[in-house]
Chains A and B, each alone.
Chain A
Amino acid sequence: MRLSEVVRALGLGVRAAGPGLESEVSGGYVSDLMSDVIANAEAGDLWLTVQIHANIVAVAAMKELAGIVLVGSREPEAETLRKAGEKQVTVLASSLPAFELAGRLYQLGLRGRERHAAGGV
């Protein structure tokens, strides 16, 4: 599924458009611990989080995620947007909490992958 379709279907706010919204979303991941995302998210995942710190951009760039969605009406810090522009990372925003937003993504047909938990987080 194209990122632009997800944005349109769920009314997501675009805070940083990264390389444009035409990239392909292949899965989803929800976590607020960056170490957990580093260990367990996969390239192409759309990442739902409450974290707004600039480190989320570094994590998304490193893992080649499709984008970050800030949930629960959270807005990115200025430094986060600056880094997102620099690293071409997409930052989106939703007023929905993570649970509801993940449910709607699932309804759109997006799936996570069953993963072997990589440790205790």
Chain B
Amino acid sequence: MPPGVCSVDLHVHTCLSPCADNGMVPTLIVERALAAGLQAIGVCDHNSAGNVAAVREAAGGLPLRVLGGMEITTSEEAHILALFDELEGLRLLEHRVQAGLEGLNDPEAWGDQILVDARDQPVGIEERLLSGASALSAEATVREIQALGGLAIASHVDRPAFSLAEQLGFVPPELPLDALELSFHFRGARAAFLAFGFPLVSFSDAHFPEDIGRSRTAFRVAEPSVTELRRALRAGQGVR
């Protein structure tokens, strides 16, 4: 791989997401990301950034950048990734998102929601139902992410469930999204998705350790930061 090209997978869940494997713990995620040859990952659990700091700490001193994020469920039940360089913006957004979450998790129905430390030790159980929807619309979510300096990417727009394109019928062209994500499953023609007028990326949406890096996007950037990635996307980089 030539210097300056970063291979990134910005959609990785941890054991905090009820639908993710309980083995998605920080040291294993980091180990697997390095083995997959990634320069950066994004930690995006459903409606929570609770395990972001632990994964960042687990990657400390290693050649892997960890962007903090969330996969937000909007009030229309569309999934949108929010990614940040700094944790302050992410914390503010998490607060807004969680203010509208309803209900408590039933682990029997949805799965476990485990908070861990950087050494994979459980430190708590998230009791709110992270699989539910926030009270923020897609419009409000994306504008909030942008206002806080994050990267806003609509998740798996090619999928039948929880896709912005599917829930709203199309991707509103005026929505200030940085990119649309195509899922690992996507095999068709990209033209239909390029027609929405946004750059395309592809990430793994990893729920199991072996998923990490199965879909990734290469960027020619000095470093895989939110600022640099946004600049690259605006300059036309991404999946073609």
A105 beta carbon closer than 8 Å to chain B: no
Given that A33-B77, A33-B133, A53-B160 are known contacts, is A38 also in contact with B103, CB under 8 Å in the complex? yes
C-alpha gap A59/B162 in the complex (Å): 15
Q: Identify whether the interface residues of A are mostly helix, strand, loop, or mixed.
A: helix
User: CB-CB < 8 A to B77: which residues of A?
Assistant: 33-35
User: CB-CB < 8 A to B108: which residues of A?
Assistant: 61
- Option from B75, B109, B160 in Cβ contact (under 8 Å) with A62: B109
C-alpha gap A35/B133 in the complex (Å): 6
State which size class the interface on A falls in.
10 to 19
- Option from B110, B132, B160 in Cβ contact (under 8 Å) with A35: B132
Given that A34-B77, A87-B109 are known contacts, is A58 also in contact with B160, CB under 8 Å in the complex? no
Q: Identify whether the interface residues of B are mostly helix, strand, loop, or mixed.
A: loop
Whether B161 pairs with A58 at a CB distance below 8 angstroms is: no
User: CB-CB < 8 A to A38: which residues of B?
Assistant: 102-103, 129, 132
Given that A53-B161, A58-B131 are known contacts, is A35 also in contact with B102, CB under 8 Å in the complex? yes
Given that A61-B109, A62-B109, A87-B109 are known contacts, is A55 also in contact with B75, CB under 8 Å in the complex? no
Q: Which residues of B contact A (CB under 8 A)?
A: 73, 75-77, 102-103, 106, 108-110, 129, 131-133, 135, 160-162
7 A-B pairs besides A35-B102, A55-B161 with CB distance below 8 A are: A34-B77, A38-B102, A38-B132, A39-B103, A59-B109, A61-B106, A120-B75
